[in-house]
Chains A and B, each alone.
Chain A
Amino acid sequence: MNKRTKKTNLILEIILWVFSLVTIYPLLMILLTSFKSKGEAAYLNINIPSEWHFENYVTVLEKNFLQSLGNSVFITFLSVLLVTSLSSLFAFIIVRRDTRLCRGFYRVITMGIIAPFAALPTIRLLQTIGLYGSRVGLSLVYSALYMPFTTMLFSSFIRGIPKELDEAAVMDGAHGPGLFVKVLLPLLKPILATTGILNFMWVWNELQIPMYLLNSSSKWTLPLSVYNFYGQFSRSWNLVCADVVLVSLPVILLYIFAQKWVIDGMTAGAVKG
């Protein structure tokens, strides 16, 4: 690298860091505001709080936060478990069997990426089968909604696993579920992590679908409870910001400790070299 390129790169690097303030400033403002008094918080800036009000967090935690956290954890884990296991099974058979019927299924399922959520028909359906307003019902809807994309990721991964591995196991008498568990599953670890994280982020952050499908506040997920909290306390930015920090904490922690996996997961399927 010659001297001129080095100099240009340094200037560009500085410009990029200046631009990063556009990302950092709002996040810093939310964090600092969450520790301010109500009066100070009304000035939405990044001044250091004159007094640190840690009790804002206590106030927020007392407003059903823990109940919603429990709901979010339950719904997210159940949905991720369902969608990854159903999609991997589905992808396994349609890729390996590869009949006309399988290809037909695959086409139908990929169209699911485009179609928008049919909100009211889904509500009606859940009412009919007695799952409306339940966390299990919501998780089943999530797994169906996110199956298309997850199945596509699994399919392209499984296509890259040599069939000879299956054949060797079949010689040893494995077939069907046994083959899947003994041979495929260990090899699917990386894609399980990728799709698991992707779906975790989707389900954890979603507002629209639980808004339609959960009618009682005792079942609310975190985003729903934060939204309603904002409706009640829109003048208390200190509390709203504390709520925002708390609801984002799990994904931020995940990002800090497993950044590579989070980025890989969230961008899976979008990069084509």
Chain B
Amino acid sequence: MKACLFLRKEKNVMNKKKVYPYYMLYVPVIVFVIFFIIPSTIGYFYAFTNWSAARTSGLKFIGLQNIIEVLSNYKVPIAFVNTIVYALIKTICVTVLGFVFAYILNRKIRTQTALRTVYFIPSILSALVVGLIFSALFQTRHGTINSMLNALGLASVDWIGSRWSAVFAIAVAEVWRNVGYAIVITLAGMQSISSDYLEAARLDGASEWQIFRNVTLPLIMPTVNVNILFSLIYGLKMFDLIYVMTGGGPGSATESFGTLMMNEMSAGRYGQSVAINLIFTIFLVIVSMVYNRVSSRWERVD
């Protein structure tokens, strides 16, 4: 007891400047500033230069020329629409399926753990691997999906050959990769709901639907909201899967912002690639600000 009192007194004397010195921040801050802040802020200055594969030194400031060229590039609206379509399909399917499966698993299913283990496997694989798996599944000749269609007496589809079927195939792969993750998170959220609430509702004679509607759903919403935001942001940033499955093609039909930046760079148009990157950054910031306003749950993440 005496020691406690002694400590309490000393609290005021505890010199924060000495105990938690700023010099311990130097290395982390320097690494973060050099390798993240600088490229992500003043690095976008290159969007306003004539940087290209042919001109890598003696760069000149050319004003908004790249931005104007990018905005009049027919590929940009395609990439813009596709990026949103990928993210929306992914977010909606993953959230809904994750919720349904988690809800069923939470009904004291005996093999719950085993099922959870199996459903989670795709989440640990790299997007590259998932892309290769789905290239095989959606392959025109002897691909698994087409073989199934043929068995049902239907004709084969050239999935990767046209825009919307290819976008669909990519979105399916992305959903496959992320459903297990959503299930695990939603299930964990459901399991963290105190059984006292559920017991009390049951004692009051609430039906299963009423319990779901008035107890489970409101208590799980913070988890679902965080999940939706992550799903949306990572969905908008999608690159690996598209790059592996279609490379953005046929033509530019399945391009997202991520692959368009890479393809513009490969074509040697560096300045324009940076301009697309800049536009994409602004777009992502707007999306997350809007989502913040709508859900106002973002701060719960930390």
Query: Which residues of A come within 8 Å of B, CB atoms?
Result: 1, 5, 8-9, 12-13, 15-17, 19-20, 22-27, 29-30, 33, 42-45, 82, 86-87, 89-90, 92-94, 96-97, 105, 108-110, 112-116, 118-122, 124-125, 129, 140-141, 143-145, 147, 152, 155-156, 164, 166-168, 170-171, 175-177, 179-180, 201, 204-208, 211-212, 223, 226-227, 230, 237, 240-241, 244, 247-248, 251-252, 254-255, 259, 262-263, 266-267, 269-273
Closest to A94 in B: B25
Name the A residues within 8 Å of B51 (CB-CB). 120
Set of chain A residues within 8 Å of B18, measured between Cβ atoms: 175-176
A96 to B128, CA, bound (A): 41
Q: Known: A44-B142, A120-B270, A208-B258. Contact between A20 and B118, CB under 8 A?
A: yes
A22 to B176, CA, bound (A): 8
Can you report 29 residue pairs joining A to B where beta carbons are below 8 Å apart? Answer: A45-B147, A89-B24, A92-B24, A93-B20, A93-B24, A96-B20, A97-B16, A108-B37, A116-B237, A121-B40, A121-B43, A124-B43, A125-B38, A129-B34, A145-B35, A145-B36, A147-B28, A175-B18, A176-B20, A205-B125, A207-B128, A208-B243, A208-B258, A212-B262, A226-B128, A226-B129, A248-B129, A255-B121, A272-B189
User: In the bound complex, do residue A118 and residue B277 qualify as a contact, i.e. CB atoms below 8 Å apart?
Assistant: yes
B residues in contact with A259, CB < 8 Å: 117
Question: What 5 A-B pairs have minimum CB-CB distances, sorted nearest first?
Answer: A121-B43, A205-B126, A273-B192, A144-B35, A121-B39
A44 touching B139 in the complex, CB below 8 Å, given contacts A20-B118, A152-B302, A262-B124: yes
Measured between beta carbons, the chain A residues less than 8 angstroms from B121 are 23, 27, 252, 255
Decide: B226 and A175 in contact? CB cutoff 8 A.
no
| Assembly CA distance A113 to B229 (angstroms) | 11
**Beta-carbon nearest neighbor of B189 in chain A:** A271
- With a cutoff of 8 Å between Cβ atoms, the chain B residues found around residue A16 in the complex are 101, 104-105, 109, 115
CB distance from A173 to the nearest CB of B (A): 11
Scoring A93, A177, A240 by chain B CB atoms within 10 A of each residue's CB, the highest score goes to A93
List residues of B (85-114) whose CB comes within 8 Å of A's CBs: 101, 104-105, 107-111
Q: Nearest B residue to A120 by beta-carbon distance? A: B274
Asked if residues B132 and A244 are in contact (CB atoms below 8 Å), the reply is yes
What are the residues of chain A within 8 A of B16 when measuring CB–CB? Answer: 96-97
The answer to whether B125 touches A248 (Cβ under 8 A) is yes
| A-B CB contacts (within 8 Å), total count | 290
A167 to B274, CA, bound (A): 49
When distances are taken between beta carbons in the complex, the residues of chain A under 8 Å from B156 are none
- B40 A115 Cβ-Cβ under 8 A: yes
Distance in Å from the Cβ of A255 to the closest Cβ of chain B? 5
A26 touches B288 (CB 8 A): no
Distance in Å from the Cβ of B39 to the closest Cβ of chain A?
A: 4
Interface code B170-204, partner A: CB below 8 Å = 1, 0 otherwise? 00000010001100110011001100000000000
Per the bound structure, the CA–CA distance linking A45 and B146 in Å amounts to: 11
Question: Would you call the interface of chain A mostly helix, strand, loop, or mixed?
Answer: helix
Residues of B near A113 (CB, < 8 A) are 233
A255 contact set on B, CB distance < 8 A: 120-121, 124
Complex Cα gap A156–B301 (Å): 9
Q: Assess the B25–A20 pair: CB atoms within 8 A.
A: no
A82 to B222, CA, bound (A): 32
| Interface residue B48 (Cβ < 8 Å from any Cβ of A) | no
Given A13-B109, A208-B239, A227:B128 Cβ within 8 A: yes
C-alpha spacing A254/B93, complex, angstroms: 28
> How long is the Cα–Cα vector from A51 to B276 in the complex, in angstroms?
50
Apart from A120-B43, A167-B7, A270-B227: 9 A-B pairs, beta carbons within 8 A: A13-B111, A23-B118, A118-B274, A121-B39, A121-B46, A140-B31, A205-B125, A207-B240, A252-B121
* Complex-state Cα separation, A130 to B257, whole angstroms: 28
Instruction: Look across to chain A and name the residue whose beta carbon is closest to the beta carbon of B277.
Output: A118
Say whether B281 faces chain A, with CB atoms less than 8 Å apart.
yes
Min CB gap A183→B, angstroms = 11
Residues on the B chain within 8 Å of A226, using CB: 128-129, 132
Decide if B124 touches A251 in the complex (CB within 8 Å): yes
Query: Contacts A97-B20, A115-B284, A118-B281 given: A273-B243 contact, CB under 8 Å?
Result: no
- The reply to whether B180 and A23 contact each other, CB–CB distance below 8 Å, is yes
Q: Within the assembled complex, what's the spacing in Å between the Cα atoms of A266 and B128?
A: 18
A223's nearest neighbour on chain B, judged by CB, is B128
